[in-house]
Amino acid sequence: MGWELYDDSFSSQWNQLVEENPHGRFIHLTGFKKVVQKCYGLEPIYLAYFEKNKILSLFPGFFHRSFLLGKKIISQPFSEYGGLLFRPDLSAEKKLIIIAEFLKMMEKILGIKRYGALEMRHPLDLLEMEASETETLGFELRKLFRRSWLEIEAPENLWLRLDPKERNIIRKAQAYELKFEPIEDLESLRKKFYPLYLRTMKRLGSPAHPFLYFSGLWQQLKSNLQVFIIIYKARPVAALIVWAVGRTVHITDMVSDERFFYVKPNDLAIWAFLNWAYNHDFKIFDFGPVRYRGQEIFKKKWLLTVDDYYYVYLTPGKLKVKNIFSRNSMVTQVAPFLWKFLLPLPVTSIIGRYFRREIAL
């Protein structure tokens, strides 16, 4: 009984727990571990808590060394989520016992490796506890911005609740005869999705993942992955990356060609996606963090619930962890200018890989 290092022999039981927990996301699945190892070369630290040969809790993470940000264990890098997951039927008392053992073990690992902190990105299971209780255990909660989610309902009901202006935008997009289609193979991912992704990242001033990252996700996690493309006059103009884990669907990437914003491809994409999600019996739509005013406006018009978004830290040595999202950080000041105005589009994915590796976003 207790915490054990991950072994492929219990990957099936691990992934089953992720699928059964409503807070499970694709980054908790074992396939994500292989993608990050191959694309970014990070050393994993995946742990499972066993009792009577049954996994009661799990923790996925990676050792991350950064010139800008120091040495941390991150759960999970390149992601909006991470942290501990528990069996859904576990009692509060048992969770506290598991967390106490986890803290002792993690403090020991951080000390041995001489790493300054553990960083868990919006660990949903842990954040179900009262903030005072979480902080009493020794964690530091850092509120960064907001996140958005929706209980999926029948499209006809949602349609009636949408603002009339939004309904007119959807009708306008439909009048342009946009097509909402799934991508079926890796070559289509390369030719239809990835150019839109690079264009969007450059427009937003954000470092791009290399195609190796997306091809890895496709190969390792295909059963949980859907990529939808919006076609206008035989041309891809927008796309969504959608993750399905349990009864939750989660959009991590929404990309588009700004030259075709006038046909409203993003609005059509979300409306068609919500219809698809309802027809496939999903219950929760997770639209992820809300960092900017433009994101907030777009996400709120779909009547999503917006609540606080946190990183949770453990810092045994009382290290002052840098806030990567502060207005004075290199990530928010230098990188956007570099990507938007100085780098040619063809090289953004090459340089982006190294910058992404440095900041683990």
Residue-wise pLDDT for 53-91, tens only, equals 999 999 999 999 998 889 999 999 999 999 999 999 999
Percent of the chain past pLDDT 70, that is, above it, reads 93
| 60 in Cβ contact with 28 (< 8 Å) | yes
Report the alpha-carbon distance of residue 227 to residue 239 in Å, rounded. Answer: 7
Residue-wise pLDDT for 257-288, tens only, equals 999 999 999 999 999 999 999 999 999 999 99
* The total number of residues written for the chain in this structure: 361
- Residue 205: predicted pLDDT: 87
- Residue 334: predicted pLDDT: 64
Q: Which of the pair, 341 or 29, is modelled with greater confidence?
A: 29
| Residue 350 confidence class, pLDDT cut points 50, 70, 90 | confident
| Residue 337 confidence class, pLDDT cut points 50, 70, 90 | low
- Residue 348: predicted pLDDT: 73
- Segment 117-129 mean pLDDT: 95
Provide the 3-class DSSP secondary structure of residue 24.
coil
Report the alpha-carbon distance of residue 122 to residue 92 in Å, rounded. Answer: 19
Q: What are phi and psi of 240, to 5 degrees?
A: -125, 140
Residue type, 55: I
What lies within 8 Å, CB to CB, of 126 at 6+ separation is 83, 84, 99, 120, 134, 139, 312
122 torsion bin: left (phi>0), alpha (psi -120 to 50), beta (else): left
| Residue 134 confidence class, pLDDT cut points 50, 70, 90 | confident
Strands 284-290 and 305-314: unpaired
Residue-wise pLDDT for 186-227, tens only, equals 999 999 999 999 999 999 888 999 999 999 999 999 999 999
- Domains annotated for the chain, with CATH where assigned, are 2-145+309-322 (3.40.630.30), 149-308 (3.40.630.30)
Residue-wise pLDDT for 296-313, tens only, equals 899 999 999 999 999 999
Residue-wise pLDDT for 162-191, tens only, equals 999 999 999 999 999 999 999 999 999 999
Enter the tokens of residue 135: 């902080």
